[in-house]
A and B are shown apart, each in its own frame.
Chain A
Amino acid sequence: MSYYFSAKNITKRYANHTALTSVSIDVPKQCIFGLLGPNGAGKTSLIRIINQITGPDEGELFFDNEKLAPHHVEHIGYLPEERGLYKKMKVGEQALYLAQLKGVSKADAMKKLRYWFEKFEIQNWWNKKVEELSKGMQQKIQFIVTIIHEPSLLIFDEPFSGFDPINVNILKEEILKLRENGATIIFSTHNMGSVEELCDNIALINNSHKILEGKVRDIRNTYKTNTFSLEYNDFTGSLSSMIPAEYELIDEQTEDGINKATIRLPKGTSQNQLLTLIIPHVTLHSFNEIIPSMNDIFIETVNAAATNSVTSQNNRS
C-alpha cells in the first residue's frame, strides 16, 4: 500500500538528548492521523522535520511518493501549537503576506481570503491590527492562514486549545470537511476524546521512540481485555455465586435498584458462555463489551514503556 506521507527511520539528536530514535510513520491519503505522546516525547521535533523547519540526522521522508523536497512546503499547511501573528500588522495584510509566502499569487490569495472571511463572518476585521483582536479571534485568523493555500497535507498541533466548545465544533467540522475534499491531516493532541472522534490512525511516541501505531479501531480492539459490563435486577446477592472462579468479578454495585457488574473473562472464553450462566437467574438490562479508551491505552502504554526503561536501566547498572 502506498502512503501519502511517510517518514522512515527518522533520528534527530540534539546536543544533550535524542529527540527521535528511528521513528517511522505512514500516513494514508485522506486520513486523519493522530500523533500522540506525552510532553517532550519528540512530537514537535517530528512535526518540525515534516515541515522541513529542521532536518533529520538520519532517515528519509516521502511526500506523495516523492522524496520530501523544499517545494513541497507549498502543499503543507501547518498550525503550530504556539500560535503567533505579527501583532502590529493588519489582519488582511498579514493573511495576504502569509499566503504569498506559501506561493499563492496575490490575486488568488485575495479571492480565497475573501471567501474565508465571509464564511467566518469576519470581513470587518480586515483592517484591524492583530493586537486588537481577542485570542479566539486570532485563532480563527491563524486557522484561515493555515489552510488558505489549500494544502494537501495539513499538520495541526493542538488545534483546539484556546477555543470555546462552539468553535471547537466548527473547527472539527472544518477538519472533517477538509478531509472529505481530499486533504490528509496529521493531528497532534493530548485530547484523547478528539482522537477517538476524529482520528483514523495514530502513532504514539514516547521518549523519542514510537511505541504504538495503527488504526484507532484496531488498536482499541487489541487492547480489549475481554471485559464486559452488565446491568440487571431481580437478583440480590453476588454474581460470584453463579460464575466460575476463573471469571474475574472486577466490580459489583447497586445503584437506584439496578445492579451493575464488571466481569473479565479468561482468554478464550466467549461472552456467550457468561450469558448462559447468568441469564437463568437475572433480568438483564444491558450487556456491553468494555473497549478501552484511547486515554487508557495512552496511559497504559506510556507507563509500561517507562517501567521497561527503568528496569532496563536497572539491569544495566
Chain B
Amino acid sequence: MNKILLVIKREYLSRVQKKSFIVMTILGPILMAALFIVPVYLSQISDETKKIDILDETGWFIDKFENSDRFHFDYVTEDLETAKTNMSAKKGYALLYIPRPTASVPSSAVIYSEKQASIDLKGYIRNVMAKEVESQKLGAEILKEIRKVNPEYKSIGNDSLSKEALISEEILKNIKTNITLTAIQMGEEGKEEESFTEVSMGVGMFAGILIYFFIFLFGAQVMRGVIEEKTSRIVEVIVSSVKPFQLMMGKIVGIALVGLTQFMLWVVLTLAIVTVFKTVVPDKLNQTDNTEVFNPGTRIPAGDNTATVAPEKEDSGKMNAILGGFQKLNFLEIALSFIFYFLGGYLLYGAMFAAIGAAVDNETDTQQFMMPVTIPLILSIVMAQFVINNPEGPIAFWFSMIPFTSPIIMMVRLPFGVAPWELALSMAILTVTFIGAVWLAGRVYRTGILMYGKKVSWGEMWKWLFYKG
C-alpha cells in the first residue's frame, strides 16, 4: 500500500511540475472566463434597452418585473393577437405572454419575438416568475400550517410565530417551481423553438464536453506514461519492487489526481478572473449573474443570485436565501455527479489506455488499438446532440446506461433532471464496469510491459488474460 502511494506521488509530482501543465492551468481559466465574459460584455456595449411588452392574464406578476438599463417592461391588456401586432408595430423587442393557468398556479409563459430572445432576458423572466410563484405558494403553505394550529388565523402578519420555523423541507420541495418558457420567433411562419432548456443545455453540453476532453487528455497521458516506462525499460526495475498492478493503479490514480487538480485550479482561477472582472466593471455584470450558471463549478460558490432578485418584501431576503440554498441542490448534484462520472469514465478508459500502452512498443503502434476504444467516446459526443434535444428518450436512456458512453451522456442529461433510480443504476453499472476493466487491464498490463519488440494482436492480448500471474 505504501508503495502504491510512492508511485502515485511520483506520477503526480512529475506531471504537476511540467511546464505544459502550468501553461494549461493558466490558459484554461483565461479561455473559460473569456467564454462568458466576452459575450456578456459585447451584449452590454452594443445593446440599447430592450422593450418588452407583458400580457399577463394571471395578474400575478404585475409590477414584479423591474425596469433596468437593459430591459424596459410595459404591461399591456389587449388580446394576444393585437398585442403581437402592436409589439411589431412599435418595434418592441419581445412580447411576454403569461396565459391563465390551467392548474392552480401559473407555470408557463411564451415569449414572442422577431429575433431570437436573448438568454439573459429569458433567465431573468424565469427567475422573476419562479420567485413570485414560489413565494406565493410558500405563503399559502405557511398559512395552511398555521391554520393547523390555529384555524381562525386569517393572514400572515407580524406575528410571534416564526415563519421559518414552519418551513419544513417537504414544503420547500412542494413549492419548488419550474417555469416553462417557450420562445417563439415571429415572422418566420410558425417556427417554434422551445428554448426554456437553454441553460440546462448549456450546462449539460459543457459538462459532457469537459468529461470527454478530460478522459481523452488524461487517458492518453496514462498510455503515454506506460509506453515511456516500457521503452525506457525502467519498468523491469520497478516491477521487481512493486506488483505490476500497483504500478498501473498508481499511475492511473496519480494522473486522475493531476486531472482533478487541474480542474479545481481552473474553477478557482476562473472564479478569480470573473470576480476581478466584476469589480473592475461592476454594474454591467452584476445584473447578468445568471449567465454564470453555464459553469456549474462557479455557480456553487457564487450562486447567491437568487437572493438578489427580489428583495422587495420584508423578510423575503431570508426566505429566498433558504430557497436559493435548495435550488443549489441541483447544482450540487451536478457537481458531485461530474466528479463521479469524470473519475468513473476516466478509470474505465484510463485502464484501457494503460492496457494499450502495455501492449505496444511505441506510440505509432497504438493506432489499431486506439480505434475501438475511442469510438464509444466519439459516439457519445455525437449522440449528445440528439440527447440534448430529447433528454428523456430511449436513446438518452440507453446511452446513459452503457458504461462506455454514460459518463458523457448522463452529464448531458443531468441538468434536465434524471430519475434517481436511473442515476443510481447508471453509476452502479459504471462502477462494476470500471472495476472489471481495471482488473482485465491489469492482466494485459503485467504481461505486456515485459514483452519487447513484438507486434501484438487482439488474439494475443486475449491470451494474456489467462496467463497465471
Contacts and interface: CB of A to CB of B under 8 A. Distances in A.
A142 B234 CA distance: 10
A148 to B, nearest CB: 11
B279 interface: no
Contacts of B235: 84
Contact of A86 (B232, B236, B460): B232
Nearest to A131: B232
A102 B238 CA distance: 9
Main secondary structure of the interface of A (DSSP, over half): loop
A55 B239 contact: no
Given A80-B236, A86-B232, A73 B241 contact: yes
Nearest to B231: A84
Contacts of B463: 15
A98 interface: yes
A76 B240 contact: yes
Contacts of B469: 54-55
Given A85-B232, A97-B10, A101-B3, A55 B237 contact: no
B467 interface: yes
Interface in A71-96: 73, 76, 78, 80, 82-89
Contacts of A80: 233, 236-237, 240
Chain B, interface size category, equals 20 to 34
B450 A84 contact: no
B450 A53 contact: yes
Interface in A121-160: 142, 145
A51 B240 contact: yes
A57 interface: yes
B232 A53 contact: no
Contact of A84 (B6, B236, B242): B236
Contact of B14 (A15, A78, A88): A88
Given A54-B450, A55-B469, A101 B232 contact: no
Contact of B242 (A57, A83, A101): A101
B233 A83 contact: yes
Interface in A153-171: none
Interface in B49-106: none
Most buried by B among A14, A48, A86, A145: A86
A78 B234 contact: no
Taking residues whose C-beta sits less than 8 angstroms from the other chain, chain A's interface range is 20 to 34
Contact of A82 (B3, B14, B236): B236
Contacts of B234: 84-86
Contacts of A86: 14, 228-229, 232, 234
Contacts of B229: 84, 86
B240 A84 contact: no
A89 B6 CA distance: 15
A57 B466 CA distance: 12
Query: Most chain-B Cβ atoms within 10 A of its Cβ — which of A14, A15, A85, A145?
Result: A15
A53 B238 CA distance: 9
B468 interface: yes
B452 interface: yes
A145 B238 CA distance: 11
B302 to A, nearest CB: 39
Contacts of A57: 468
A53 B240 contact: yes
Nearest to B460: A15
Contacts of B14: 86, 88-89
Centre residue among B234, B467, B468 by max chain A CB count within 10 A: B234
Interface string B1-37: 0010011001000100000000000000000000000
Given A84-B232, A101-B6, A145 B240 contact: no
Closest 10 CB pairs of A and B: A84-B233, A84-B234, A101-B241, A82-B233, A78-B240, A80-B236, A51-B240, A84-B232, A15-B463, A53-B239
Given A54-B469, A82-B452, A86-B228, 10 more contacts: A15-B463, A51-B240, A53-B239, A55-B469, A78-B236, A84-B235, A89-B14, A98-B237, A142-B237, A145-B237
8 contacts: A14-B467, A15-B460, A51-B239, A78-B237, A80-B237, A85-B232, A98-B241, A145-B237
Interface of B: 3, 6-7, 10, 14, 228-229, 232-244, 446, 450, 452, 460, 463, 467-469
